[in-house]
Amino acid sequence: MSWILQFLADTSSKHYVSGVEVEYLLKAQESRLRTLIDDVHKRNDERVLNHSQTLNGEIFKLRDVLKERHEILAKQLEETKVFLQTQIKYIRTLLESEVKKFDESSTMIYKKLDVVAESTTRLIEDITSFNKDYMTGLQDKKKGDAKVFAKVEEFLTKIKAMLLTQSTISLESISQMVSHIQSNIKAELDRIRDLVLRLPTNAPRVVQVSQGEKKGELVHRKLHVKTLEWL
C-alpha cells in the first residue's frame, strides 16, 4: 500500500500517467513480490529443514534405542533358547536312563518269574515223586515190621511154653536161651534196617533264585541206623 500511496503523491500534480510508468511500476512490484515470495519459500524451506533435521534426530535416537532393545531381546531369546535346549536334553537323557532302567528291571523280573515258575514246577514234581517213593517204602516197612513182630511174638510164645513145661532151668540154659533170643532179634532188626535204608533219602528243598539265575539243590537226608545190640 505504501508504494501505491507514494505513486499517487508523485503523480497528483499530473493529469495523466504514462504506460511506461505503469509498466515500470508493475515490474518493480512484481520483482518485489517475487523477492518476498522467495524469502517466504526460503524461510519455509529452512523451517521444514530444521523440522526435518529435528525429526531425523529423534528418529535416529528412537532407531538406536530400538536397535539396542532388539539386541537385548535377541540376546535374552538366545539365552532362553540355549537354556531350553539344555533342559530338554537333560530331560531326554533322564527319561532314556529311566526307561532303560525300567526295561532292565522288567527283564530281570520276567526272568525271575520264569525261574520261579520252573522251580515251582520242579519242586512240585520232586515232592510228588518223593511222597510216592516214601509212601511205597513206608508200606513195605510196615509189612516187614508186622512180619518181624509176628515172628518175635511167636518165638516168645514158644519160649514161654518151654519155660512152663520145665520144672528146673539152669543158669547155663538161661544164658543160652537169652543168647538165642538176642541172635534172633538182631537178625530181624537187620531186616528192619535194610528196609529203612531202602527208603528215599533225597527230599527236595526250595530253590533259591538270585539275579535271574537259579540255584537248586536237594537236601540229602541221611538216616543213621544205630546198631542195636541186646546186652
CA–CA dist 189, 148 (Å, integer) = 8
**Residue 204 confidence (pLDDT):** 45
Q: pLDDT value at position 88? A: 93
Q: Mind giving me the DSSP string for 96-114?
A: HHHHHHHHHHHHHHHHHHH
Secondary structure (3-state) at 197: helix
Q: What pLDDT was estimated at residue 169?
A: 61
Q: What is the pLDDT at residue 213?
A: 45
Residue 120's pLDDT is what?
87
Query: Can you list the pairs that 206-212 forms with residues at least 24 positions away whose Cβ atoms lie under 8 Å?
Result: 206/119, 206/123, 207/115, 207/119, 207/122, 207/123, 209/112, 209/115, 209/116, 209/119, 211/108, 212/108, 212/111, 212/112, 212/115
Report CA dihedral (92, 98, 101, 102) to the nearest 10 degrees: -120
What one-letter code names the amino acid at 144? G
Q: Which residues of the chain have pLDDT under 70?
A: 1-20, 22, 163-164, 166-172, 174, 178, 188-231
Look up residue 94 and give its three cell numbers.
533322564
Strand positions, DSSP E, the chain: 202-204, 208-210, 213-215, 218-220
Dist CA 123 CA 164 (whole Å): 59
- What's CA 159's distance to the chain center, in Å? 83
Tens-place pLDDT, residues 82-99: 999 999 999 999 999 999
User: What nine digits make up the cell of 165?
Assistant: 513145661
The predicted pLDDT at position 195 comes to 58
